[in-house]
A and B are shown apart, each in its own frame.
Chain A
Amino acid sequence: DGGITQSPKYLFRKEGQNVTLSCEQNLNHDAMYWYRQDPGQGLRLIYYSQIVNDFQKGDIAEGYSVSREKKESFPLTVTSAQKNPTAFYLCASSSLAGNPYEQYFGPGTRLTVT
């Protein structure tokens, strides 16, 4: 069953704690992405990666970190430096072989920090 998995579905943390969100894909996609969605708002890009061991900052990278040690995996760490971490986090992936490079999303992780 091909797709993108994210875990956990819901995550609760205390302020000041780092937390890591998992994202795995078995679509053999080269590129992977992390977005954040806040209520009533669009998707904002946090980080993206086009190849293993390489990644680029998106529009709101401050307070977040990522790694890409395997093609299938792109975990996101929300650090204590992120001022407003409570949000819906979405992982996505896309092939880089042939237009239009459509992007698919995982089910998301809803993070609540109190």
Chain B
Amino acid sequence: QKEVEQNSGPLSVPEGAIASLNCTYSDRGSQSFFWYRQYSGKSPELIMFIYSNGDKEDGRFTAQLNKASQYVSLLIRDSQPSDSATYLCAVRGTSGTYKYIFGTGTRLKVLA
């Protein structure tokens, strides 16, 4: 079982719709959770982080964390063609470690 799992996609949504990206993780002691956006040929850009159960909103983005079920999700409201990218989920492990485990990413395509 992979430590951090994401559906590779592509996930296609029409412009203006809500895109929902999901990530599951295996280490129950994981502390912090991150979403990165990576455009083709570029480096990952941090867009959201969350470390408490529940929802965290920032503009059009909402991160959701459920530690009991070991999943974290990212919702993108009013999706735009410029949101088309690969979204990487990353997890910082058990307290005391400064290693981050990345999923392989979900490719999102927003159709104009």
Contacts and interface: CB of A to CB of B under 8 A. Distances in A.
A102 B4 CA distance: 17
Nearest to A56: B99
Contact of B46 (A33, A99, A104, A107): A104
Interface string A10-42: 000000000000000000000101010000111
Q: How large is the interface on A (under 10, 10 to 19, 20 to 34, 35 or more residues)?
A: 20 to 34
Interface string B1-45: 000100000000000000000000000000111101000001111
Interface string B78-99: 0000000000101010000011
A40 B103 CA distance: 11
A99 B43 contact: no
A8 interface: no
A31 B98 contact: yes
Contacts of B90: 103
Contacts, number: 57
Interface string A82-114: 000000001000101001111111111000000
A33 to B, nearest CB: 8
Contacts of A43: 44, 88, 102
B25 to A, nearest CB: 13
A63 to B, nearest CB: 20
Contacts of A31: 98
Contacts of A100: 31-34, 49-51, 92
Instruction: List 3 tightest A-B contacts by C-beta distance, closest first.
Output: A100-B32, A42-B104, A43-B102
Interface of B: 4, 31-34, 36, 42-46, 49-51, 88, 90, 92, 98-100, 102-105
30 contacts: A31-B98, A33-B100, A42-B4, A42-B103, A43-B88, A43-B102, A45-B100, A48-B99, A58-B99, A90-B43, A90-B44, A96-B98, A99-B51, A100-B31, A100-B32, A100-B33, A100-B34, A100-B50, A101-B92, A101-B98, A102-B32, A102-B46, A102-B49, A103-B100, A105-B36, A105-B43, A105-B44, A105-B46, A106-B43, A107-B42
